C-alpha cells in the first residue's frame, strides 16, 4: 500500500477518534447542565406502563370441514378470543388502550420540553446555543420512553382431512390498529354474540347422538319421545347467548315444543 495513502487513512482515523471524544464530552456537558434533560428524567419516573402477558398472539383454529373454513371470518376468531379473554388476550388489549392513552400524554409533555429555551444554561459552558440545542434534542430523543406498546396477532384457521391428505388454511396478521378496531367494535356489541356463533358451529352429529343416547331419546322436561311424534332437539342448558358452551355436560334433550318454550332461559 502507498505510504501516503496509509498516512491519510491514519489521519482520518485520528480525526474520527477526536470527533467521537469531543462529541461524547459535549453530550456529557449538556446532560449534566440541561434543565430539560432533568425534567425528562423526572417525567420518565412518573410514568409507569403496564406489561403485557404476550406481545404477539399466535391463534390456531381448526375447522370441521373445508366449507366451514371458507365461510369462517378471521375477524370473528379475533372477536371470539377477545370475548372469552383466551390466554389473557382481552386483558392485554385493555392494557394496550391504557398504555396508548398514557403515552400520548407523555409524548405531549416531551414535546413541550423540546420547545423550551435554555439560553441561561448555555452561559455556564463554553458552547454555542445552536450546538447546545442540537445535543439537547438528540439526548431527549435518546432518553425518551419509546413506543413499544403495540400488540399483534397471527391467526391461522385450517382444515385437515381425516386421513391428512388434504390441508387448507386461511392466515392473516392483525396489527395494532386492526386489533383496536375489532376490540372497540366488540365492546359495542351484545355480550357473547360472537361466541354464540362459534358454540353452535361446534355441535357435531357424534356429540348430538351421544346426548340423545344418554337421555334415552326422550325430552328431559315432558318425557316425550319420537314414538309420541315429538321432534327431539339437543339444547344448551346454559344458552350460548349467555356464555354457555357446546359441551357434553351443558347439553340436554328437549322436544321441539319444550325447546321453543324454554327459549334462552336457563
Give the tens place of pLDDT for each residue, 239-265: 887 778 888 899 999 998 888 877 767
Name 53's Cβ contacts closer than 8 Å, sequence gap at least 6. 87, 88, 91, 92
Category of 263 on φ-ψ map: left (φ > 0), alpha (ψ -120 to 50) or beta: left
Q: Is residue 87 part of a domain?
A: yes
Q: Are residues 209 and 133 in the same domain?
A: no
Q: Is residue 1 part of a domain?
A: no
Q: Are residues 71 and 140 in the same domain?
A: yes
pLDDT (tens digit per residue) in 2-55: 777 787 788 889 888 888 888 888 888 888 888 889 999 999 999 999 999 999
Dihedral Cα 227, 229, 231, 235, nearest 10 deg: -60
pLDDT at 80 over 90: no
Q: Is residue 38 part of a domain?
A: yes
Name 207's Cβ contacts closer than 8 Å, sequence gap at least 6. 234, 246, 248, 251
Last residue of a domain, one of 124, 157, 189: 189
Q: Are residues 183 and 208 in the same domain?
A: no
Q: Are residues 180 and 122 in the same domain?
A: yes
Q: Are residues 49 and 173 in the same domain?
A: yes
pLDDT at 202 over 80: no
pLDDT (tens digit per residue) in 226-237: 887 888 999 999
- pLDDT score of 84: 86
Q: Are residues 165 and 133 in the same domain?
A: yes
- pLDDT score of 157: 94
Q: Is residue 138 part of a domain?
A: yes
- pLDDT score of 171: 96
Q: Are residues 150 and 91 in the same domain?
A: yes
- pLDDT score of 120: 58
Q: Is residue 12 part of a domain?
A: no
State the pLDDT confidence band at 92, using cuts at 50, 70 and 90.
very high
Category of 243 on φ-ψ map: left (φ > 0), alpha (ψ -120 to 50) or beta: left
- pLDDT score of 121: 61
Q: Is residue 14 part of a domain?
A: no
- pLDDT score of 219: 92
Q: How many domains does the chain contain in total?
A: 2
- What is the residue-averaged pLDDT of the chain? 86
State the pLDDT confidence band at 266, using cuts at 50, 70 and 90.
low
Q: Which whole number is the average pLDDT over 133-149?
A: 91
pLDDT (tens digit per residue) in 204-225: 778 888 999 999 999 998 888 8
Q: Are residues 137 and 87 in the same domain?
A: yes
> pTM (2 decimals)?
0.65
Q: Domain of 79?
A: 34-189
Q: Are residues 133 and 265 in the same domain?
A: no
Last residue of a domain, one of 129, 156, 189: 189
Q: Are residues 223 and 123 in the same domain?
A: no
- pLDDT score of 252: 93
State which of 50-54, 83-87, 113-117, 203-207 shows the largest mean pLDDT. Answer: 50-54
Q: Is residue 137 part of a domain?
A: yes
Last residue of a domain, one of 166, 189, 212: 189
Amino acid at each position: 500500500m502507498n505510504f501516503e495513502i496509509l498516512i491519510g487513512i491514519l489521519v482520518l482515523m485520528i480525526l474520527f477518534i477526536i470527533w467521537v471524544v469531543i462529541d461524547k464530552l459535549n453530550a456529557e456537558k449538556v446532560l449534566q447542565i440541561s434543565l430539560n434533560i432533568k425534567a425528562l428524567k423526572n417525567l420518565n419516573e412518573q410514568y409507569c406502563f403496564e406489561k403485557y402477558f404476550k406481545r404477539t398472539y399466535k391463534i390456531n383454529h381448526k375447522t370441521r370441514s373445508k366449507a366451514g373454513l371458507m365461510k369462517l371470518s378471521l375477524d370473528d376468531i379475533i372477536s371470539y378470543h377477545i370475548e372469552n379473554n383466551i390466554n389473557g388476550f382481552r386483558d392485554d388489549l385493555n392494557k394496550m388502550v391504557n398504555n396508548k392513552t398514557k403515552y400520548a400524554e407523555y409524548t405531549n409533555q416531551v414535546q413541550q420540553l423540546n420547545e423550551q429555551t435554555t439560553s441561561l444554561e448555555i452561559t455556564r459552558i463554553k458552547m454555542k446555543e445552536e450546538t447546545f440545542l442540537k445535543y439537547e434534542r438528540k439526548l431527549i430523543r435518546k432518553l425518551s420512553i419509546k413506543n413499544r406498546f403495540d400488540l399483534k396477532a397471527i391467526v391461522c384457521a385450517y382444515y385437515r382431512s381425516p386421513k391428512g391428505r388434504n390441508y387448507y388454511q386461511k392466515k392473516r396478521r392483525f396489527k395494532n390498529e386492526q386489533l383496536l378496531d375489532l376490540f372497540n367494535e366488540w365492546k359495542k356489541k351484545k355480550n357473547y354474540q360472537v361466541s354464540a356463533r362459534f358454540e353452535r358451529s361446534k355441535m357435531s352429529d357424534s356429540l348430538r347422538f351421544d346426548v340423545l343416547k344418554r337421555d334415552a331419546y326422550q325430552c328431559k322436561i315432558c318425557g316425550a319421545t319420537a314414538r309420541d311424534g315429538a321432534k327431539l332437539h339437543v339444547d344448551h342448558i346454559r344458552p350460548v347467548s349467555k356464555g354457555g358452551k357446546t359441551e357434553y355436560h351443558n347439553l340436554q334433550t328437549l322436544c321441539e315444543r319444550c325447546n321453543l318454550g324454554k327459549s334462552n332461559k336457563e
